[in-house]
Structure 1
Amino acid sequence: MSQNDAFAAAAHLHVLLRRKTGRVTDTEWMVHNAEYAQAIVAFARERASEDGHADLLPLADRLESLVIPVRKAVPVSAPAPLTASTSVDLSTRYIGRLRG
């Protein structure tokens, strides 16, 4: 991802959202904060579907592809069961150090 591409997508979406919906956004925050970007993308898609602003969709998709990280599915393995022979050294654990 080029940061310039991300800023360009955020700026274009900002301008269209301001013109079409009156919503003011922060383009720099959109580029640096994935949660904020996701909220703006969701808002743009909502306005596109409810108000018929279909021109918001390509910009929302572009911003999402540039800023929002793709979460890959990580296989989850079952934790090993605790047995009577399992010992835990609390002095090396975070909570143990706080209390110790």
Structure 2
Amino acid sequence: MSEEHHTRAALENQAFALMGRLHVTLRRQTGRVTDIEYMRIDPAYCRYLLKMASLSPIEDLQDLSVKLQEIFFGPDGLFVVAEPKPPLIDRLKEHAPAPAPAAPAAAAPAAPTDNGDPVDRGYIGRLR
């Protein structure tokens, strides 16, 4: 794996830990419930929560906001730098043609019912 991937993974781990602290502090101090996973993937929601935390009179929330702002929106932030593409071999597997389906086995014909219909229409829609 490249160094860039390790750095990104480290940033994601650090962001997750800080988002957890932000979530707990907001919940305890303001009663506000947040969604960490949604914050991780939606830049608009992340900006909203960081702005709310930065405007809070609680110093810990302000500090967390500054740190998360840098991790997500700084020059090398998670929302700024594109995620590295997967290795070429993995991308080729995604676009490989699907194997041909096996020929269906010959099914035995259904026994005709008393009206000559091979399917018992009275059974359809009823419970066994």
- TM-score band by shorter chain is 0.5 to 0.7
Q: Who wins on radius of gyration, i.e. which is larger?
A: 2
- Let me know the Cα RMSD of the aligned residues: 1.4
After TM superposition, where is structure 1 displaced by more than 3 Å over at least 4 residues in a row? none
Normalised TM-score (structure 1): 0.60
Q: Compute the TM-score of the two structures, normalised by the length of structure 2.
A: 0.47
Answer yes or no: is 1:30 the counterpart of 2:35. no
Among the aligned pairs, what percent are the same residue?
A: 36
Spell out, residue by residue over 1:6-59, the C-alpha distance to the aligned partner (whole angstroms, 9 max, x if none): 1111111011000111000001111111111110011112222xxxx1121110
In structure 2, what is the equivalent of residue 61 of structure 1? 66
Secondary structure of 1:10's match? helix
Look up the SS of the partner of 2:25 in the other structure: helix
Alpha carbons 1:29, 1:36 under 8 Å: kept:
yes
Larger RCO, structures 1/2 (Cα 8 Å, 6+ apart)? 1
Equivalent residues of 1:41, 1:64 under 8 A apart:
yes
